[in-house]
Amino acid sequence: MGRGSRGTSRKLLTASRGQAKVSERTFDMPMTARLPIPRDTEAKLQHILRHAAQIFAERGFGASSIRDISRATGVSLSGLYYYFESKQKLLYLIQIHAFTSILQELEQRLEGVADPERRLTIFIQNHLEYFMDHPAEMKVLSHEEEALEEPYRKEVAGIKRRYYNLARGIFEELSRRGRTEGLNSRVAVLSLYGMMNWIYKWHNPKVDPRAEELAETMAGIFLHGVLNGPNGRNSRQAAERASLERAG
């Protein structure tokens, strides 16, 4: 997710200064040994956000404190308050950074790709790659959505809506080409998000495939189901007719 990260960091740095108008598997997220604090301002912000996401993921937003973040990052309280003035602002920065990074990378990857099935696979792979590389952020986005207050919630909702609409546009193009058999686009797209967003509960990198192969599998399940690939629905309907004929 590196190509758009620097531009994202600059936007975040502006937002962090108050101008923000712009047994469950848990991936085993132990706090890593403290790394040297970056001197570069943008890198330092990313250092803070990554450790803060780990703290929120492990302890929950409500049970975490700014002092916890200070201890984990090695940044003084006054140093932290240079980047954000409250824990709410910190949660906002984690969420807006995640969605901005995902969208920037996705839009670059989709550029020049016309086939909707290929676009769908790219969309899934992009989502999985980010969250498999950022499991703490994924857990925070999944579990702390309601903790975010206004006006931050409205801003995050806006970029989430943009992300959702991009996925829905891909699905509706599939529908226009007659590949989805009249399925409700809202239900289909939200079901796909549900499939992708909960991988942190079960994905085991020791035995499960990496993002590229996993994306192909999920795209296949989403588009064709699990019964005999693309002919699954026809096969199921034929079996149902045969059963009715035997019963009659």
Per-residue pLDDT reduced to its tens digit, 129-171: 999 999 999 999 989 989 999 999 999 999 999 999 999 999 9
Range of weakest confidence among 4-13, 78-87, 117-126, 133-142: 4-13
CATH number, domain with residue 78? 1.10.357.10
Residue 15, token pair as written in the block: 């937002």
Taking the C-alpha atoms of residue 30 and residue 37, their distance in angstroms, rounded to an integer, is 19
Range of weakest confidence among 59-73, 101-115, 201-215, 224-238: 224-238
Per-residue pLDDT reduced to its tens digit, 42-77: 899 999 999 999 999 999 999 999 999 999 999 999
Whether 21 and 88 have beta carbons less than 8 Å apart is answered as no
State percent of the chain over pLDDT 90. Answer: 65
Q: For residue 39, what pLDDT is reported?
A: 65
Q: For residue 137, what pLDDT is reported?
A: 94
Cis peptide before 151 (omega within 30 of 0): yes
Give me the mean pLDDT over the 171-176 stretch.
Answer: 93
Q: Which domain holds residue 161?
A: 5-247
Q: For residue 183, what pLDDT is reported?
A: 84
Q: Which residues fall within 8 angstroms of residue 43, CB to CB, at 6 or more apart?
A: 9
Confidence of residue 223 (pLDDT cuts 50, 70, 90): confident
Q: Give the torsion sign (CA, 42, 47, 50, 52).
A: negative
Q: What is the count of structural domains for the chain?
A: 1
Taking the C-alpha atoms of residue 183 and residue 144, their distance in angstroms, rounded to an integer, is 31
